Chain A
Amino acid sequence: MKPNDVVITGIGLVSCLGEGAEEHWRKLTADEPAPVVDAERFAPYTVHPLPAIDWGLQIAKRGDQRQMETWQRLGTYAAGLALDDAAVKDDETLCATMDMVIAAGGGERDEAVDAAILAASENRADQGVLLNEHLTTELRPTLFLAQLSNLLAGNISIVHKVTGSSRTFMGEEGAGVSAIETAAARIRCGQSTHALVGGAFQTEHPDMLLGYELGGYLHRGPWKPVWQRQGSEGGGVVTGSGAAFLVLESRQHAQERGRKAYARLGAVSSGRSRRSTTDLQAEIAALAEKTGVSGNPLLAVSGASGAHKATAAELAALGGMTGIGLRAFGTLTGHMKEAQFPFAVALAALAAHNKAAYPAFDRQAETAFAGSTDTVLATTVGYHQFEGMALVHAAD
């Protein structure tokens, strides 16, 4: 036990399953955890939609809510859940000294404006002028702020008064990995005492699906669990709207303010396999070894996306190790991009905290796990690039 150990003292989760750490634990440990899917709105794609959210519970001012599109509202809301959970939320001093690392993509474009421009483009050769005509007159001036990547953090500062520092990392799943890795490293070496870390992803917009589909990554046809999409039509990814935020603190900082931790965050490792030239399965196995996976029975909360190549490699690398109980939560929540790794770490912390494992989310592909959850692995292998893992340990 060291004073600068990193402990997790707050968790804020939103997914199709609901909101909050407790509700996620309850839904995910039910006898037959069931996903919430919407196969109609974006057919032939299935998505895991947001649950009903009373935004006012975490974003009191309607004016603030109006300044954001769903992605920013979702992130700001989940950040508020985490801050509440850690009893930081209305503590001005704690918020004013709290560091923040957000994993972000971009916000929603104005679909109607884009559609009008595209429709008009069929009869126009001067597309540049066409753009100017529409964009100068139809764009809502403040929409830009709802789209800027760093404005999720900006809104969290405004709404929750977290102002110690504000950094936004970009880069799909890798941004979530780096956010946690960096915040933890800073706490461990005394550069920071407490930090808010997380990300949000709002998939219910065709532009957000387009980001995956340009690379042919989306699964089509009937919904299937993450591990069972090989050979199905499309690229294997089923997306979900959701967010995950963590409050990370030094052990000493948490103790001094009398907070019990959910869990201790151990080793966090990140990787960038050169996937076109190297064996991703071997790289994932090496990353697990570097993180400290040793062959003992281990629950592994996997952020596997379903993307065929990456998911097969992760299954082969980790599923092949003795004693590992894989649990791909993406089966139930969908893939939440920047939020995927923070979500995995949060679920690992809940298993360590509750001293219990999750049941198989996919009874065909995931085996029963009866071992200890004193240590739990969290993984995220990016659908296209970047990998990350972390070990989460029981708090005491």
Chain B
Amino acid sequence: MASMTDHLGRPIVVVTGIGVVTSLGAGKTDNWAALTAGRSGIHPITRFPTDLLNTRISGTVDFLPSSDKGASSLTYELAEMTAHEAIAEAGFDTRNFGGPLFLASPPVELDWRERFSLYAAGSKETGLERLLEVARGLNALDVFQSAQFGSIADRLSDSLGAIGLPITLSTACASGATAIQLGVEAIRRGECERALSIGADGSVTAEALIRFSLLSALSTQNDVPERASKPFSKDRDGFVIAEGAGALVLESLESAVSRGATVLGVLRGCGEKADDFHRTRSKPDGSPAIATVRAALKDAGMSEGEIAYVNAHGTSTPENDKMEHLSLSTVFGERIRDVPVSSNKSMIGHTLSAAGAVEAAFSLMTMREGVIPPTINYDNPDPAIDLDVVPNIKRSADISSTMSNSFGFGGQNACLVLTREPV
């Protein structure tokens, strides 16, 4: 019988349920079909007026009942949908999951529609003093909750029957990977047999878009939206802001085997390292990203030679893709040219807090299906980035191990190593 513990004697952590929603659709089936067909989910923004905006495209999720109800409502719905898919696949009760919840979600703020509505309800005072004055007599629980950072996880815990105090976290664009890492660590500590890790982000509002835009982070290639996200291309000019969610049911191998659950993949290793260089830029030598990748390999007990595929962070910003190439080529050496490296973001855009979880879900499916989703819009390769990006068309391949990278503002770096079988 296979060992239940890893190279450091820790419980092996496997995935027994996966859920995903992106602009490409709800659920694994639709997403996988679109992703392997090389279809883009990027489209013109219709949720709010785009007058005066330099960026008028996004990968918003527009097909859910909460899509026009504000960031908090949509993030909740995205998280719950993917949780249901993952928990059901794992064979647990979607109302009584029975493990802890780790939720990566965007920082919340009171929505402008609520601010306007509060303001219109008062007449005395001006500015924020009027909002306070109106709020004083209001006591509207739903509006209050939409501005509380812990509310989404609290409501999810109720709905899903998660155990204990849920953790809501943000490590910017690495959040989804961190949620998974926290779940892996909890199982390794023996605190639980299973955990639910979710990354969910439904926070594309005018203000969010403008904030990223003011930092020159977004693509302005509005004319053909589906072609704007072009990781590793010479003419990439920023990421495309997007929404989505990914959920994983993590479980000790022992628990999964004992109840006869299907093992969908293994969370072999997690690595992280913070960057102290700058709030938005990486250290020029790439050392934190390099250390992150190496830490994940070490945690997994694997060498870089054992990685068969890299699911890149690949945002399509000039800076990220250059730095990611630098770190990968440093760690992998000459071999990096022979390792397929593709970016799901070429099709779904950058799902921010959800990205690490969404892309971990796709990494697991890549291994199970034996098909690598392509990097689309790769018509004008950046000569400085010599990678096999699986250009434009999916590729069949026997992939038994995957590395998934996530990097974010604030010096956040996280890396996951996933394998197909619990060897």
Contact = CB atoms under 8 A, between A and B. Distances in A.
Given A154-B411, A210-B135, A216-B139, A177 B279 contact: no
A79 B94 CA distance: 41
A169 B169 contact: yes
Contact of B412 (A136, A166, A175): A166
A216 to B, nearest CB: 4
A272 B153 CA distance: 11
B273 A163 contact: yes
B170 A145 contact: no
Of A141, A158, A172, A272, most buried by chain B (CB within 10 Å of CB) is: A272
B288 A163 contact: yes
Given A114-B127, A114-B128, A151-B410, A170 B150 contact: yes
Contacts of A105: 107, 149
A385 B154 contact: yes
B109 interface: yes
Given A132-B210, A171-B168, A214 B140 contact: yes
Contact of B165 (A157, A163, A274, A388): A388
Nearest to B162: A272
Nearest to B279: A145
A135 B135 CA distance: 24
B119 interface: yes
Interface in A208-226: 209-211, 213-216, 218, 220
Interface in A172-214: 172, 174-175, 177-178, 181-182, 185-186, 189, 191, 206-207, 209-211, 213-214
Nearest to B145: A215
Interface stretch (B25-33, B44-52, B250-258, B321-329): B44-52
A215 B165 contact: no
Interface residues of B, number: 80
B332 interface: no
A166 B274 contact: yes
Interface residues of A, number: 83
A175 B168 contact: yes
Interface stretch (B16-24, B110-118, B372-380): B110-118
A184 B126 CA distance: 46
Nearest to B128: A206
B384 interface: no
A256 interface: no
A168 interface: yes
A272 B409 contact: no
A81 interface: no
Contacts of B409: 145, 148, 150-151, 154
17 contacts: A109-B109, A115-B127, A126-B49, A132-B50, A132-B52, A155-B410, A157-B276, A157-B410, A161-B276, A165-B272, A166-B412, A167-B182, A215-B141, A220-B136, A234-B136, A270-B165, A272-B157
A53 interface: no
Contacts of B189: 185-186, 189, 191
A128 interface: yes
A280 interface: no
Contacts of B167: 169, 171, 178, 182
Contacts of B288: 163
A150 B167 CA distance: 14
A67 interface: yes
Contact of A139 (B210, B278, B279): B210
Nearest to B173: A150
A127 B119 CA distance: 12
Contacts of B62: none
Contacts of A382: 150
B190 to A, nearest CB: 8
Contacts of B411: 154, 157-158, 163, 166
A361 B300 CA distance: 51
Interface stretch (A27-35, A117-125, A257-265, A301-309): A117-125
B172 A132 contact: no
Nearest to A211: B147
B14 to A, nearest CB: 19
A272 B207 contact: no
B284 to A, nearest CB: 15
Contacts of B136: 213, 216, 218, 220, 234
B185 interface: yes
B154 A129 contact: no
Nearest to A107: B107
Interface of A: 67, 100, 104-106, 109, 111, 114-115, 117-119, 121-122, 126-129, 131-133, 135-136, 139, 141-145, 147-151, 153-155, 157-158, 161-172, 174-175, 177-178, 181-182, 185-186, 189, 191, 206-207, 209-211, 213-216, 218, 220, 234, 270-272, 274, 382, 384-388
Contacts of A214: 110, 135, 138, 140, 143-144, 147
Given A109-B109, A149-B107, A165-B273, A136 B53 contact: yes
A111 B58 CA distance: 28
B215 A141 contact: yes
Given A127-B113, A149-B170, A166-B410, 13 more contacts: A131-B112, A135-B207, A143-B211, A144-B214, A153-B410, A154-B412, A166-B411, A166-B412, A182-B182, A186-B185, A211-B110, A213-B132, A270-B164
Contacts of A161: 276
B131 interface: yes
B228 to A, nearest CB: 19
A143 B108 CA distance: 16
A145 B217 CA distance: 13
Given A145-B279, A214-B138, A115 B408 contact: no
B171 A166 contact: yes
Contacts of B135: 210, 213-214, 216
Contact of A148 (B107, B128, B130, B150): B107
A360 to B, nearest CB: 30
B37 interface: no
B50, B116, B138, most chain A CB atoms within 10 A? B116
Nearest to A337: B149
A165 B288 CA distance: 10
B62 to A, nearest CB: 16
By CB atoms of chain B within 10 A, which of A139, A154, A185 has the most?
Answer: A154
A136 B52 contact: yes
Contacts of A131: 48, 112, 206-207
Nearest to A385: B154
A213 B274 CA distance: 36
Chain A to chain B: the 10 pairs with minimum beta-carbon distance, closest first: A154-B410, A171-B150, A115-B127, A206-B128, A215-B144, A270-B165, A166-B274, A141-B214, A170-B149, A214-B144
